[in-house]
Structure 1
């Protein structure tokens, strides 16, 4: 029960405090007003929700069913469920960066962070409280302390929500339904001009895809090294040997 209350606090109260204090950007101020009967959740929001839900459900389902063997803990133990809980919480923490912008700007997650001290403060407070609950909650929160390695892995699993956020912005739909906006000839013409000016630039997509690939590849390599230390050590030794031979 305490875990659920804490998750609700992160996603509702703390999330609203962090995101509600974001300063409006130029794109928001230039956007046409919505109609009174416009859908509350537009199709871009649905895309974002479905992509994040698919990753988080898949990852947590895997950790729940196979995480015990993966982390070397008893299945169904307090530590096993703590690992699932920690990964889930950090999925929400990192998804708050994605939620700073619901559009298709692939770099929006981290742009302008210095302008919103409240957002940084909320993230810091959330991480600090999560650490205290896990390490010292005991019977009150029914959590078991995690090792530094277990912390690193669960935080890394949660941080993959950011690469997922980058990749989902490269998927259609790329525009909101025009029927959701108030329309006059002047507003429509001006909006079309701005849309052309701010069109998707292909050169901005490749760096975003690279940024999404790096942490994912790092986790795969880390997990492979941990599960296959002999093979990984042999690969490293061979690499060092070939490097030394080439230098000679």
Structure 2
């Protein structure tokens, strides 16, 4: 999915943005904060699974659960990478159909690797209930990011109201 980010359709409001200086860092402070925040969130969830096994599964399934959770987390996190500012990912969710197709393909490949690739990839098949829990857990990275963006919008709007 990361490669498809370069194929995002041009948005109508792009020309309204100020140009970025050639000397500007590729990773802005806002982008770095988002990367750090999502990284800490993902780390917290992985450690929580490792320590509490909230997804469930046997000890033999734990490495497969963590591997699959990592891949599915990254798939959903790719949607966060499409909107680096304060705008919700939902506004332009279906604009990049190629990304949606690649997302689906990688998801299907992950299922195949997990369910049938045990000899090659060292995985064990997971029951449907575990898959559902993994998907719900992985979607939480979108929810987390959307809550952060919502809070930023609310607080920036409040800051504008108090300065006006």
**In the alignment, which residue of structure 2 is the partner of 1:15?**
2
Q: What corresponds to 1:153 in structure 2? A: 133
Count of paired positions: 157
Q: How does 1:1-248 map to 2 (within 5 A)?
A: 14-16=1-3, 18-67=4-53, 71-74=56-59, 77=60, 79-105=61-87, 107=88, 109-171=89-151
Report which of the two structures shows the higher radius of gyration computed on alpha carbons: 1
- CA distance in structure 2 between the aligned counterparts of 1:134 and 1:159, rounded to whole angstroms: 19
Q: Which runs of 5+ in 1 are unaligned?
A: 1-13, 175-199, 203-248
Q: How far is the alpha carbon of 1:31 from its aligned partner?
A: 1.1
- RMSD, aligned α-carbons: 2.1
Q: Is the 8 A contact 1:21 1:116 kept in 2?
A: yes
Match of 1:179 in 2: none
Separation in structure 2 between the aligned mates of residue 40 and residue 54 of structure 1, nearest angstrom: 21
TM-aligned CA distance change 1:161 to 1:57, over 3 Å: same
Q: CA deviation at 1:70?
A: 5.4
Q: Which runs of 5+ in 2 are unaligned?
A: 159-164
Q: Following TM superposition, by how much is the alpha carbon of 1:72 offset from its aligned partner in structure 2, in angstroms?
A: 4.2
TM-score w.r.t. length of structure 2: 0.86
Tell me how far apart the structure 2 counterparts of residues 72 and 113 of structure 1 sit (CA, whole Å). Answer: 33
CA displacement at 1:170 relative to structure 2: 3.8
